[in-house]
A = this chain, B = another copy of it.
Amino acid sequence: MRYVVELSLSLIVALDRVSYERAANIVDSLCEVVSGFKVGLPFLLQYGLSSLEKLRSLCSEKMWVADLKLADIGYVMTSIVELLAGKIDAVIAHAFVGYRGALDELKEFSQKLGIKLIVVAAMSHPGSVELYDIVLGGVAKIVERVAPWGIVVPATRPKLISVFRKMFDCQLALLAPGVGVQGARPGDAICAGADYEIVGRLIVNSDNPLETAIRILNEQQRCRKWCEQR
Residues of A within 8 A of B (CB): 16-17, 40-42, 44-46, 48-49, 68-74, 76, 79-80, 83, 94-104, 123-132, 134-135, 138-139, 142, 182
B contact residues around A72 at 8 Å (CB): 41, 69
A83 contacts B123, C-beta separation under 8 Å: no
B contact residues around A134 at 8 Å (CB): 135, 138
Q: A135-B134, A135-B135 are in contact. Are A42 and B96 (CB under 8 A)?
A: no
B139 contacts A127, C-beta separation under 8 Å: no
Closest 8 CB pairs of A and B: A98-B127, A101-B125, A98-B130, A100-B126, A42-B79, A102-B127, A100-B127, A71-B71
B contact residues around A69 at 8 Å (CB): 70-72, 76
B contact residues around A73 at 8 Å (CB): 123-125, 182
A49 contact from B45, B99, B103, Cβ within 8 A? B45
Q: How far is the CB of A19 from chain B (nearest CB, A)?
A: 13
A130 contact from B71, B79, B138, Cβ within 8 A? B138
Q: Majority SS of interface residues in chain A? A: helix
Nearest B residue to A49 via CB reads B45
B131 contacts A103, C-beta separation under 8 Å: no
B49 contacts A130, C-beta separation under 8 Å: no
Residue among A45, A102, A124 with most chain B CB within 10 A: A45
- Taken together as a complex, chains A and B put the C-alpha atoms of A23 and B126 apart, in Å, by 40
Pick 26 A–B contacts, CB within 8 A, sort by A: A40-B76, A42-B79, A42-B80, A44-B45, A45-B49, A45-B80, A69-B71, A71-B96, A73-B123, A74-B125, A96-B131, A96-B132, A97-B123, A97-B127, A98-B126, A98-B127, A98-B129, A98-B130, A98-B132, A101-B125, A101-B127, A102-B125, A103-B127, A131-B138, A131-B142, A134-B135
